[in-house]
Every structure is written in structure tokens, then in C-alpha cells.
Amino acid sequence: MSRRVIVTTIMLLLCLSGVIGQSKEARLKIAHLTEDFYVFTTFGSFKGLTITANGMYVVTAAGVVLFDTPWDTTQFQPLLDSIRVRHGKDVILIIATHFHDDRTGGLEYYKQKGIRTYTTRKTDELSSQRGQKRAEFLIDKDTLFNVGQYSFQTYFPGEGHTKDNIVIWFERERILYGGCLIKSITDHDLGNLSDASVKDYPGTIRNIQRKCKRAKYIITGHNDWTSLKSLDHTLRMAEMLQKE
């Protein structure tokens, strides 16, 4: 085999490898938020449309804490692998913010990996009723977690997207992880309302505004998460829905 053929073959293999790598990478995106905080995005389907699903993790001295699991079941392990390669640390704790499968889908998979998984007791009840994945440990009330150098609180502000939706508040860093309760500035409606409490939604958002003041970052459950106007935007849509 000539040198030219060998070089051409190697280049072709490298190109194919790059295409395959890009294809896999496109199913899982990780973006740096600030300091030790990262947003990961996977993809799922709703009413025939492909929709992004955002989660968050923080890298602590004790290990990595994950908020919500990937929606795409093929990305459960790749997320762990990516975190390990990028940060040299393992995920040690996961908290899901409500019972829908774009938040809880990976709980049992990660539990089998020896990772501590948490939901509220209300989320566990709904997960059990709906046949969704369940966590190993349950939270009975708003709880302050201390992991490594970081502290954060789980907060149930009231019913909205679901009866069990919670948010995560890093008070010192002013980071609010809102999950699906808070809608993206690019959303034109409140999305999936099949389990929603429409009458309570505005009051729930106002509770978050009072609790989580001067947030520097607000992470939404779907679509673009970079705007600080997402809370106000969600409140406006919730108020408009009540008037209809």
C-alpha cells in the first residue's frame, strides 16, 4: 500500500471519528455558568417536537452535586463520564426537582451507581403513582444542604408547573435553579400544564421572587437559560392565563 493511500485512509478515519464524536456530543451539551457551576442540556420529545432539557451541577471539594437528571436516557452514563473527565471528580448526590421524567428519569440508574439520590416526599408519592423513577432518600421540608464549600437550600414555593415542584437556591452565590417551574424568556406559554395548578402559579412565582432576591443567574428547565428576566416573564404568562 502506497504512502499516499495510507495517509488518505488515516485522514478519512479521523474525519469519520470527528463526525461520530460530534453526533454524540450534540446529544449532551455542557456550558460553564460561573465558578464551579455548570449547566448541562439534553434533548427529549414533547408533542412531536424536540425540546431541550436543562440541568445543573456544581463541583465541590467533596464531589459533584447534580440537579435533575438527563431527559435523554442514552446520556445518563455519558454525563457521568464527561464530568469525570472534565473535573476529575465523581457525582455524589442528585436532587430531582419534580416527578416528570425529564427530571427523575435517571434516578434509579444513578442509585445503582452508588450515588445518593433525593426528591421530596411529595415527588416520591407522585412518582410512585405515575410509575416514574424514584429516589433513595426523601426530603420532608425545605432543607439546607452543605456539600464541600457550598451551601444550598431546597425550596417549595407552592404549586405551579406541578404540585411538587421545588427550586434550588444558592444564597451566597445568588444562583437560582428553577427547573420547569420557571419558563425561558423564549417560551411563549407555560408549556406542559397537564399536572399544573394554574390558579396557584402566579403566587408561587411571587414567593420565589421574595425568597430569592437579586439572583445573578436563573436556570430554567427548558430552552434558553441566560436571561435574568425569566421570573418576570413566567409571572406575566401565569397572570395572563388566569384572565383567559
Per-residue pLDDT reduced to its tens digit, 177-210: 999 999 999 999 999 999 999 999 999 999 999 9
The answer to the question of residue 17 being in a domain is: no
The answer to the question of residue 5 being in a domain is: no
The answer to the question of residue 14 being in a domain is: no
Mark residue 122 as left, alpha or beta (left: phi above 0; alpha: psi -120 to 50; beta: remaining). alpha
pTM of the model: 0.89
Q: Indicate the pLDDT class of residue 15, thresholds 50, 70 and 90.
A: very low
For residue 167, give the CATH number of its domain: 3.60.15.10
According to the model, what pLDDT value does residue 49 have?
A: 84
Per-residue pLDDT reduced to its tens digit, 135-184? 999 999 999 999 999 999 999 999 999 999 999 999 999 999 999 999 99
User: Of residues 87, 142, 192, 207, which has the active-site annotation?
Assistant: 192
* Mean pLDDT of all residues belonging to the chain: 91
The answer to the question of residue 169 being in a domain is: yes
The answer to the question of residue 10 being in a domain is: no
Q: Is 99 helix (H, G, I), strand (E, B) or coil?
A: coil
The answer to the question of residue 158 being in a domain is: yes
Mean pLDDT on 100-128:
98
Domain count within the chain: 1
Quickly tell me which residue has 455524589 as its cell. Answer: 92
Amino acid present at 203: G
The answer to the question of residue 11 being in a domain is: no
Residue 124 annotated as catalytic: no
According to the model, what pLDDT value does residue 192 have?
A: 93
Cβ neighbours of 197 (radius 10 Å): 16
Domain of residue 104 covers: 27-243
Residue 146 annotated as catalytic: no
The answer to the question of residue 3 being in a domain is: no
Residue 98 annotated as catalytic: yes
Per-residue pLDDT reduced to its tens digit, 26-39? 799 999 999 999 99
Q: Answer with the residue of higher pLDDT: 10 or 203.
A: 203
User: Of residues 68, 161, 165, 233, which has the active-site annotation?
Assistant: 161
User: Of residues 72, 98, 101, 233, which has the active-site annotation?
Assistant: 98
Distance CA 182, CA 179 (A): 6
Q: Indicate the pLDDT class of residue 48, thresholds 50, 70 and 90.
A: confident
According to the model, what pLDDT value does residue 26 have?
A: 74
Residue 222 annotated as catalytic: no
User: H-type helices in the chain, by residue range?
Assistant: 3-25, 76-87, 101-104, 107-112, 121-130, 201-211, 230-243
Mean pLDDT on 81-109:
98
Q: Indicate the pLDDT class of residue 243, thresholds 50, 70 and 90.
A: confident
